[in-house]
Amino acid sequence: MKQQVIEKLKSAFTSTKYRQEQENYGAAIQALESTSDIFEDMRQMHDKYGVHNWMANATPEQLSKFLQFRIDFLNEELTETTEAFANKDAEEVVDGLIDLIVIAAGTLDAFGVDGNAAWQQVLKANMAKEVGVKPTRPNKLGLPDLIKPSGWQAPDHSGNHGTFGNMFK
């Protein structure tokens, strides 16, 4: 979808003769090209490497093993990132944190979850929290902590579980 918008903007850019419009189109193209949609990126990567095809033919047992593989992969990357922090290796800390995002987003995509919709649900729930003190998680840095106020509602992912449910049948 993003690529289609970029192509339309490029077409408009080349067809206009007005300098201000060209500048506006150029700025819009540059902004779009420099942004990422992690979930769309993962979808494209999985299409390229046949992950979606494999997932479509996997048995519930294979799906379960695949999810366990991905969880183990997340744990491995978290361990590597923790080690990078202990070694004061900024390059590996950044790489490790991105790898965690890639694996998590990729797992959601592989299982057919709409990652953007899930993200919006979690963001909405987190934005409804309030600044406070959580006694079960001491915060010695003095930074604001977020707590669930009375009446807070958890994210609702109903209808957006992808094929996770297929494993549990």
- Report the CATH number at residue 135: 1.10.3420.10
**Tokens representing 28?**
């819009």
Total-model pTM: 0.79
**Tokens representing 79?**
């361990």
* 91 in the same domain as 52: yes
* 142 in the same domain as 83: yes
Cα–Cα separations (whole angstroms), residue 136 to 23, 98, 145, 153: 53, 28, 12, 20
* 45 in the same domain as 30: no
* 91 in the same domain as 58: yes
User: Where do runs of H (alpha helix) occur along the chain?
Assistant: 2-15, 19-33, 38-49, 51-57, 60-86, 90-110, 115-127, 164-167
* 141 in the same domain as 74: yes
**Tokens representing 92?**
């590996």
Q: What is the pLDDT of residue 151?
A: 96
* 43 in the same domain as 17: no
10-residue mean pLDDT profile of the chain (169 residues): values are: 75 81 80 82 96 95 95 98 98 98 98 96 96 83 88 96 85
* 146 in the same domain as 71: yes
In a domain, 169, yes or no: no
* 96 in the same domain as 53: yes
* 50 in the same domain as 71: yes
* 111 in the same domain as 92: yes
* 113 in the same domain as 59: yes
What is the helix (H) or strand (E) element at residue 131, kind and residue range?
strand 130-132
The one-letter code for the residue type at 57 is N
Rounded CA gap, 26 and 10, in Å? 8
As for how many domains the chain has, the answer is 2
Q: What is the pLDDT of residue 1?
A: 64
Could you tell me the residue range of the domain that residue 11 belongs to? 1-35
In a domain, 138, yes or no: yes
Nearest to 39 by CA among 115, 153, 135: 115
